[in-house]
Protein backbone atom coordinates (compact mmCIF):
# COMPACT_ATOMS: atom_id res chain seq x y z
CA UNK A 1 0.00 0.00 0.00
CA UNK A 2 1.44 3.35 -1.00
CA UNK A 3 1.80 6.04 1.64
CA UNK A 4 -0.54 8.86 0.71
CA UNK A 5 0.85 11.45 3.14
CA UNK A 6 2.05 14.68 1.55
CA UNK A 7 5.20 14.66 3.69
CA UNK A 8 8.60 14.95 2.04
CA UNK A 9 9.53 11.70 0.30
CA UNK A 10 13.12 12.24 1.45
CA UNK A 11 12.06 11.67 5.05
CA UNK A 12 12.62 8.24 6.64
CA UNK A 13 9.81 5.80 5.98
CA UNK A 14 8.75 5.64 9.65
CA UNK A 15 8.42 9.45 9.73
CA UNK A 16 6.25 9.45 6.62
CA UNK A 17 4.06 6.77 8.18
CA UNK A 18 3.84 8.82 11.36
CA UNK A 19 2.81 11.89 9.36
CA UNK A 20 0.12 9.90 7.54
CA UNK A 21 -1.34 8.62 10.79
CA UNK A 22 -1.21 12.10 12.27
CA UNK A 23 -3.35 13.23 9.33
CA UNK A 24 -5.83 10.44 10.08
CA UNK A 25 -6.09 11.61 13.68
CA UNK A 26 -6.43 15.27 12.69
CA UNK A 27 -9.16 14.50 10.15
CA UNK A 28 -11.13 12.35 12.60
CA UNK A 29 -10.64 9.13 10.63
CA UNK A 30 -8.95 7.81 13.76
CA UNK A 31 -11.12 9.01 16.63
CA UNK A 32 -9.92 10.01 20.12
CA UNK A 33 -10.36 7.15 22.57
CA UNK A 34 -10.52 4.50 19.84
CA UNK A 35 -7.97 1.81 19.06
CA UNK A 36 -5.91 2.12 15.88
CA UNK A 37 -5.25 -0.96 13.70
CA UNK A 38 -2.85 -3.50 15.19
CA UNK A 39 0.83 -3.56 14.30
CA UNK A 40 0.22 -6.70 12.25
CA UNK A 41 -2.61 -5.01 10.34
CA UNK A 42 -0.56 -1.88 9.68
CA UNK A 43 2.44 -3.93 8.60
CA UNK A 44 0.34 -5.87 6.11
CA UNK A 45 -1.58 -2.80 4.91
CA UNK A 46 1.51 -0.72 4.15
CA UNK A 47 3.85 -3.56 3.20
CA UNK A 48 6.60 -2.45 5.59
CA UNK A 49 8.59 -4.10 8.34
CA UNK A 50 7.05 -4.35 11.81
CA UNK A 51 10.02 -2.41 13.18
CA UNK A 52 9.13 0.52 10.92
CA UNK A 53 5.54 0.45 12.12
CA UNK A 54 6.62 0.38 15.77
CA UNK A 55 8.98 3.29 15.26
CA UNK A 56 6.23 5.33 13.60
CA UNK A 57 3.89 4.55 16.49
CA UNK A 58 6.61 5.50 18.96
CA UNK A 59 6.81 8.97 17.39
CA UNK A 60 3.12 9.60 18.02
CA UNK A 61 3.27 8.09 21.50
CA UNK A 62 6.18 10.38 22.39
CA UNK A 63 4.20 13.34 21.06
CA UNK A 64 1.29 12.39 23.32
CA UNK A 65 -1.09 11.61 20.45
CA UNK A 66 -1.24 7.83 20.92
CA UNK A 67 -1.05 5.72 24.04
CA UNK A 68 -0.34 2.03 24.46
CA UNK A 69 -2.57 -0.04 26.68
CA UNK A 70 -0.98 -3.38 27.45
CA UNK A 71 -3.16 -6.26 26.40
CA UNK A 72 -5.67 -3.99 24.64
CA UNK A 73 -3.76 -2.19 21.90
CA UNK A 74 -2.79 1.35 20.94
CA UNK A 75 -5.34 4.13 21.22
CA UNK A 76 -5.69 7.72 20.04
CA UNK A 77 -5.11 9.66 23.21
CA UNK A 78 -7.96 11.83 24.42
CA UNK A 79 -6.80 14.65 26.73
CA UNK A 80 -8.32 14.27 30.18
CA UNK A 81 -10.22 17.20 31.67
CA UNK A 82 -10.64 17.26 35.42
CA UNK A 83 -11.66 19.80 38.05
CA UNK A 84 -8.19 21.32 38.43
CA UNK A 85 -8.00 25.06 37.94
CA UNK A 86 -6.32 24.59 34.59
CA UNK A 87 -5.93 21.51 32.45
CA UNK A 88 -2.23 22.17 31.84
CA UNK A 89 -1.55 24.51 34.78
CA UNK A 90 -2.77 24.60 38.35
CA UNK A 91 -3.11 27.34 40.92
CA UNK A 92 -3.38 26.19 44.50
CA UNK A 93 -4.01 28.15 47.69
CA UNK A 94 -1.26 28.17 50.29
CA UNK A 95 -2.85 25.17 52.05
CA UNK A 96 -2.40 23.07 48.91
CA UNK A 97 -6.09 22.20 48.84
CA UNK A 98 -7.85 22.19 45.50
CA UNK A 99 -11.29 23.66 45.01
CA UNK A 100 -13.85 23.43 42.24
CA UNK A 101 -13.45 26.53 40.04
CA UNK A 102 -16.31 28.58 38.66
CA UNK A 103 -16.17 30.28 35.28
CA UNK A 104 -17.95 33.41 34.16
CA UNK A 105 -17.92 34.42 30.49
CA UNK A 106 -18.01 38.21 30.47
CA UNK A 107 -18.22 38.70 26.70
CA UNK A 108 -17.98 36.68 23.47
CA UNK A 109 -17.77 38.38 20.10
CA UNK A 110 -16.11 38.21 16.70
CA UNK A 111 -13.45 40.84 16.14
CA UNK A 112 -10.29 41.61 14.17
CA UNK A 113 -7.19 40.29 15.96
CA UNK A 114 -4.15 42.29 16.96
CA UNK A 115 -0.85 41.51 15.28
CA UNK A 116 0.21 39.51 18.34
CA UNK A 117 -2.93 37.37 18.28
CA UNK A 118 -2.74 36.88 14.50
CA UNK A 119 0.85 35.69 14.81
CA UNK A 120 0.07 33.33 17.72
CA UNK A 121 -2.83 31.72 15.84
CA UNK A 122 -1.01 31.77 12.48
CA UNK A 123 -3.90 33.57 10.78
CA UNK A 124 -4.06 35.28 7.41
CA UNK A 125 -4.34 39.06 7.35
CA UNK A 126 -8.11 39.10 6.72
CA UNK A 127 -9.10 36.39 9.22
CA UNK A 128 -11.07 37.25 12.34
CA UNK A 129 -11.25 35.73 15.79
CA UNK A 130 -13.79 34.95 18.46
CA UNK A 131 -12.68 36.87 21.55
CA UNK A 132 -13.80 35.52 24.93
CA UNK A 133 -13.32 37.37 28.21
CA UNK A 134 -13.61 35.11 31.22
CA UNK A 135 -13.27 35.35 34.99
CA UNK A 136 -12.25 32.26 36.95
CA UNK A 137 -13.17 32.17 40.63
CA UNK A 138 -12.57 29.67 43.37
CA UNK A 139 -14.06 29.65 46.85
CA UNK A 140 -15.61 33.05 46.23
CA UNK A 141 -12.18 34.63 45.71
CA UNK A 142 -11.12 36.14 42.40
CA UNK A 143 -8.20 34.34 40.85
CA UNK A 144 -7.68 34.74 37.11
CA UNK A 145 -8.97 37.04 34.41
CA UNK A 146 -8.61 35.57 30.91
CA UNK A 147 -8.56 36.88 27.37
CA UNK A 148 -9.09 34.00 24.93
CA UNK A 149 -8.87 34.22 21.15
CA UNK A 150 -10.02 31.51 18.72
CA UNK A 151 -10.03 31.42 14.90
CA UNK A 152 -13.51 32.56 13.83
CA UNK A 153 -13.61 30.11 10.91
CA UNK A 154 -13.65 27.18 13.31
CA UNK A 155 -15.30 28.75 16.37
CA UNK A 156 -17.88 31.25 15.04
CA UNK A 157 -20.62 29.24 16.78
CA UNK A 158 -19.35 30.48 20.16
CA UNK A 159 -20.11 34.09 19.27
CA UNK A 160 -23.79 33.17 18.81
CA UNK A 161 -24.22 31.83 22.36
CA UNK A 162 -25.27 33.65 25.49
CA UNK A 163 -22.50 33.93 28.13
CA UNK A 164 -24.42 31.73 30.56
CA UNK A 165 -24.58 28.92 27.97
CA UNK A 166 -20.84 28.21 28.25
CA UNK A 167 -19.61 25.26 30.32
CA UNK A 168 -16.90 25.75 33.00
CA UNK A 169 -14.47 23.50 31.12
CA UNK A 170 -13.92 25.05 27.72
CA UNK A 171 -12.03 22.31 25.92
CA UNK A 172 -14.81 19.70 26.05
CA UNK A 173 -17.18 22.56 25.20
CA UNK A 174 -15.14 23.43 22.09
CA UNK A 175 -15.47 19.82 20.95
CA UNK A 176 -19.20 19.63 21.64
CA UNK A 177 -20.07 22.95 20.02
CA UNK A 178 -17.49 23.26 17.24
CA UNK A 179 -15.97 19.81 16.74
CA UNK A 180 -12.53 21.14 17.63
CA UNK A 181 -10.33 19.04 19.92
CA UNK A 182 -7.43 20.50 21.90
CA UNK A 183 -4.62 17.95 21.93
CA UNK A 184 -1.77 19.88 23.54
CA UNK A 185 -0.80 23.27 24.88
CA UNK A 186 2.32 25.26 25.63
CA UNK A 187 2.36 27.79 28.44
CA UNK A 188 4.72 30.58 29.40
CA UNK A 189 4.63 31.85 32.97
CA UNK A 190 5.83 35.36 33.84
CA UNK A 191 5.22 38.17 36.32
CA UNK A 192 3.30 41.23 35.20
CA UNK A 193 1.17 44.01 36.75
CA UNK A 194 -2.56 44.67 36.81
CA UNK A 195 -3.87 47.62 34.81
CA UNK A 196 -7.19 48.79 33.38
CA UNK A 197 -9.71 45.96 32.95
CA UNK A 198 -7.50 43.33 34.59
CA UNK A 199 -7.19 45.42 37.75
CA UNK A 200 -10.92 46.18 37.74
CA UNK A 201 -12.02 42.58 37.24
CA UNK A 202 -9.66 41.23 39.87
CA UNK A 203 -10.40 44.10 42.25
CA UNK A 204 -6.73 44.98 42.51
CA UNK A 205 -5.01 48.32 42.76
CA UNK A 206 -3.38 49.57 39.56
CA UNK A 207 0.15 48.19 39.30
CA UNK A 208 -0.40 45.24 41.65
CA UNK A 209 1.94 42.35 40.72
CA UNK A 210 0.20 39.50 38.89
CA UNK A 211 1.02 36.08 37.55
CA UNK A 212 0.68 36.09 33.76
CA UNK A 213 0.11 32.83 31.90
CA UNK A 214 0.32 32.86 28.11
CA UNK A 215 -0.95 29.74 26.38
CA UNK A 216 -1.08 28.47 22.82
CA UNK A 217 -3.26 25.36 22.48
CA UNK A 218 -3.12 23.15 19.39
CA UNK A 219 -5.19 20.50 17.68
CA UNK A 220 -4.01 17.05 16.66
CA UNK A 221 -2.64 18.54 13.45
CA UNK A 222 -0.47 20.84 15.59
CA UNK A 223 -2.18 23.98 14.28
CA UNK A 224 -3.02 26.67 16.88
CA UNK A 225 -6.65 26.65 17.96
CA UNK A 226 -6.51 28.93 20.97
CA UNK A 227 -4.39 31.80 22.24
CA UNK A 228 -4.98 32.74 25.86
CA UNK A 229 -3.58 35.26 28.33
CA UNK A 230 -4.57 34.83 31.98
CA UNK A 231 -3.62 37.03 34.89
CA UNK A 232 -4.13 36.65 38.62
CA UNK A 233 -2.73 38.05 41.87
CA UNK A 234 0.64 36.78 43.03
CA UNK A 235 -0.41 36.86 46.68
CA UNK A 236 -1.01 33.32 47.91
CA UNK A 237 0.07 31.91 44.57
CA UNK A 238 1.67 28.49 44.44
CA UNK A 239 2.76 26.73 41.26
CA UNK A 240 2.49 22.95 41.01
CA UNK A 241 3.22 20.71 38.07
CA UNK A 242 3.24 16.91 37.87
CA UNK A 243 6.26 15.43 36.13
CA UNK A 244 5.81 11.86 34.94
Quick check: 207 and 195 in contact, CB under 8 A? yes
pLDDT at residue 93 greater than cutoff 60: no
Are 75 and 66 spatial neighbours (Cβ–Cβ below 8 Å)? yes
Contact 77, 67 (CB under 8 A): yes
Read off the pTM.
0.78
Question: Can you tell me the mean pLDDT for 38-53?
Answer: 94
What domains are defined for the chain?
13-76 (1.10.10.10), 90-240 (3.40.1410.10)
Confidence of residue 227 (pLDDT cuts 50, 70, 90): very high
pLDDT by residue (tens digit) across 147-193?
999 999 999 999 999 999 999 889 999 999 999 999 888 888 899 99
CB-based contact 101:85 (threshold 8 Å):
yes
CA distance 212 to 229: 7
pLDDT 10s digits, 120-135: 999 999 999 999 999 9
What's the CA gap between 21 and 57, in Å, rounded? 9
Among 42-46, 62-66, 223-227, 240-244, whose mean pLDDT is lowest? 240-244
Alpha-carbon distance 34 to 69, whole Å?
11
Q: What is the structure's pLDDT at 87?
A: 37
Whole-angstrom Cα Rg for the chain: 21
- The whole-angstrom separation of Cα 46 and Cα 44 is 6
Query: What pLDDT does 221 receive?
Result: 86
Amino acid sequence: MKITSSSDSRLPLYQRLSDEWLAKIASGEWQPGEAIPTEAELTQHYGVAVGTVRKAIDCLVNDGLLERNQGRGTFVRRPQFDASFFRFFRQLPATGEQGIPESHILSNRITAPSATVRHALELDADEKVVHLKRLRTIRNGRRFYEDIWLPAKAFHRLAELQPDEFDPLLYPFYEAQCGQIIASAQETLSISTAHDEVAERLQLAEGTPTVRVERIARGYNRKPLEYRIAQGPTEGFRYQIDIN
